[in-house]
């Protein structure tokens, strides 16, 4: 890509770029993906409420295909600007998809399967990263001739999603709670679950609709101002921000130095990197077997506690210059990836859909995903400076975040496994010493309606 930038400037402008100019263009090409992701996240909630979950995903797929075509043709057109534009469009697609897909898949899932299906979001995120690493090796698409196909590969996954979405119904809860169409809701449930008995799910949705009757979908600002869901909002802010601030990017950054110090030849390092991606993916998949038994809050707490301890020992092993120490660092890197995959990746993406009732869910996903993209951008900007100034001691900063998040989860967040948003709201009220004389679920609904009237 850098070679394309240099050739384009020479042919088009007769200009030979300085190294710092080339680095600036490269940095902008990388970071514009985060800008697009943030914009996509900000727009996702309102678009999902206006057009529906399925239609929003369908329209968003065309954005991914557009970005894919631009990047695929960039080398032929001798235009590095097409890569920038393609990554920007794909960033928009990623930001919107993360929010809307999570919303959609959690709404079409029976309550007893929400824990397992929620993990699938993180599983496919990890699979996507591993697939990118795998396709990027020199034996496949990571060559001087084929790299445009590597960048444009997202077009094929977009086409696959476009085709398969036509066979899926709209979200049943969106049809019932947002559109008020019970017949369409029942038809969607039948298409999703077959001829099984889904009366309990219909009853729960009707209870939620009755409790929140006359309450429309909330905007982001209204959600922030609403005190009835203050603890839920703080929880998603803490968890989604910490996904990027827990230090996993630093772990991946130092992994190459550790593998090199352990004696892995330079030409084999890319295969070791594949091992880290495969470790993350296989660990997230293993969450399917433990999440329903352990519980989401407990799993998140244990993951951040485990990462805190691992980062302490990783800092020590990287600091000590002993011949056998790189092997300890290597083991700690994989252990840290395991903890990260079990908790932050496996549990966090589905939290807004479980903590918030239907009127709040779109705004909640917008806030959570926007915070995730902002944190990623901040880490990308600040991390090189931290490495330059602190070297391996930069892990102590991430250790602080992991420790604080662990304490917050332990003392402020109830277990949410197999509970509706109204039941979780009641648990938050109990945990934070709210009055118990009034039924808390009814109180939650009354507060929302009171706030709506005031607005």
Predicted pLDDT at 322: 79
More confident site: 114 or 143: 143
Given pLDDT bands bounded at 50, 70 and 90, which one contains residue 291? confident
pLDDT for 302 beyond 60: yes
pLDDT of residue 213: 59
205 or 303, which is more confident: 303
pLDDT digits over 55-97, tens only? 999 999 999 999 999 999 999 999 999 999 999 999 999 999 9
CA 440 from centre of chain: 31
Predicted pLDDT of residue 71:
96
Question: CA torsion sign, 333 to 339 to 344 to 346?
Answer: positive
Residue of 344, 230, 372 lying closest to 280 (CA atoms): 344
The stretch 385-394 carries a mean pLDDT of 84
Separation of alpha carbons 284 and 293, rounded Å? 15
Over the stretch 343-365, which tens digit does the pLDDT of each residue have?
899 889 989 988 988 788 888 99
Q: Is the pLDDT of residue 156 over 90?
A: yes
Which whole number is the average pLDDT over 243-271?
A: 84
Give me the domains of the chain, ranges plus CATH numbers.
Answer: 1-168 (1.20.1250.20), 172-216 (no CATH), 219-449 (1.20.1250.20)
The pLDDT of residue 159 is 94
Residue 434's alpha-carbon distances to 53, 141, 359, 423, 438, in angstroms, are: 35, 58, 23, 14, 10
- Are 347 and 296 in contact, with CB atoms under 8 Å apart? yes
pLDDT band at 118 (very low <50, low <70, confident <90, very high): confident
How many angstroms separate the CA atoms of 231 and 233, rounded? 5
What is the pLDDT at residue 122? 87
For 167-196, the pLDDT digits (tens) are: 999 998 888 888 888 888 889 988 888 887
Rounded mean pLDDT of 275-281?
Answer: 90
**Residue 384, both tokens:** 């090189």
The total number of residues shown for the chain amounts to: 455
pLDDT at 109: 85
Q: Decide if pLDDT at 40 tops 70.
A: yes
Mean pLDDT of 422-440: 72
What confidence tens digit (pLDDT) does each residue in 437-447 have? 445 555 555 55
Nearest alpha carbon to residue 91 among 142, 141, 28, 135? 28
Cα 145 to Cα 136: distance, rounded to the nearest angstrom: 12
The Cα 74–Cα 95 span in angstroms is 23
Query: Of 362, 299, 359, 448, nearest to 56 (Cα)?
Result: 362
261, pLDDT greater than 50: yes
Residue 438: the pLDDT is: 47
Res. 199: pLDDT tops 90 = no
Please give the residue that has the higher pLDDT: either 31 or 447.
Answer: 31
pLDDT band at 294 (very low <50, low <70, confident <90, very high): confident
Q: Ranked by mean pLDDT, which of 3-7, 252-256, 387-391, 430-434 comes out on top?
A: 3-7
Q: Does pLDDT of 99 surpass 80?
A: yes
């Amino acid at each position: 890509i850098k070679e394309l930038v240099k050739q384009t400037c020479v042919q088009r402008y007769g200009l030979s770029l300085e190294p710092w100019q080339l680095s600036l263009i490269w940095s902008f090409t990388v970071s514009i993906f985060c800008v697009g992701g943030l914009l996509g996240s900000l727009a996702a909630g309102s678009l999902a409420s206006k057009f529906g979950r399925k239609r929003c995903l369908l329209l968003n797929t065309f954005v991914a295909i557009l970005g894919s075509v631009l990047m695929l043709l960039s080398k032929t057109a001798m235009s590095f600007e097409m890569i920038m534009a393609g990554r920007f469009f794909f960033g928009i697609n990623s930001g919107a998809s993360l929010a809307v897909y999570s919303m959609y898949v959690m709404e079409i899932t029976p309550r007893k399967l929400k824990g397992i299906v929620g993990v699938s979001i993180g599983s496919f995120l990890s699979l996507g990263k591993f697939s990118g690493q795998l396709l990027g090796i020199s034996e496949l698409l990571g060559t001087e001739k084929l790299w445009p196909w590597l960048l444009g590969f997202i077009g094929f996954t977009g086409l696959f999603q476009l085709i398969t979405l036509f066979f899926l119904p709209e979200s049943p809860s969106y049809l019932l709670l947002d559109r008020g169409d019970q017949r369409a809701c029942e038809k969607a449930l039948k298409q999703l679950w077959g001829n099984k008995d889904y009366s309990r799910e219909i009853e729960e949705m009707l209870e939620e609709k009755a409790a929140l009757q006359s309450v429309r979908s909330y905007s982001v600002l209204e959600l922030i101002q609403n005190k009835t869901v203050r603890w839920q909002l703080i929880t998603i802010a803490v968890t989604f921000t910490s996904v990027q601030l827990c230090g996993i990017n630093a772990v991946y950054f130092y992994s190459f130095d550790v593998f090199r110090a352990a004696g892995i030849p330079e030409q084999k390092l890319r295969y070791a990197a594949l091992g880290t991606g495969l470790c993350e993916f296989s660990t997230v998949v293993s969450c399917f077997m433990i999440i329903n038994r352990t519980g989401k809050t407990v799993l998140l707490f244990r993951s951040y506690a485990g990462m805190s301890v691992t980062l302490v020992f990783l800092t020590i092993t990287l600091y000590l210059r002993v011949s056998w120490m790189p092997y300890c660092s290597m083991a700690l890197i994989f252990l840290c990836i395991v903890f990260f995959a079990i908790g932050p990746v496996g549990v966090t993406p589905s939290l807004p859909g479980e903590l918030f009732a239907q009127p709040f869910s779109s705004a909640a996903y917008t806030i959570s995903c926007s915070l995730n993209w902002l944190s990623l951008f901040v880490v990308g900007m600040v991390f090189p400076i931290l490495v330059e100034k602190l070297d391996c001691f930069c892990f102590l900063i991430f250790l602080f975040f992991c420790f604080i998040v662990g304490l917050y989860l332990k003392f402020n967040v109830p277990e949410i496994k197999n509970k509706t948003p109204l039941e979780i709201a009641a648990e938050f009220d109990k945990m934070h010493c709210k009055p118990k004389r009034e039924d808390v679920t009814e109180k939650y609904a009354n507060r929302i309606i009171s706030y709506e009237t005031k607005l």
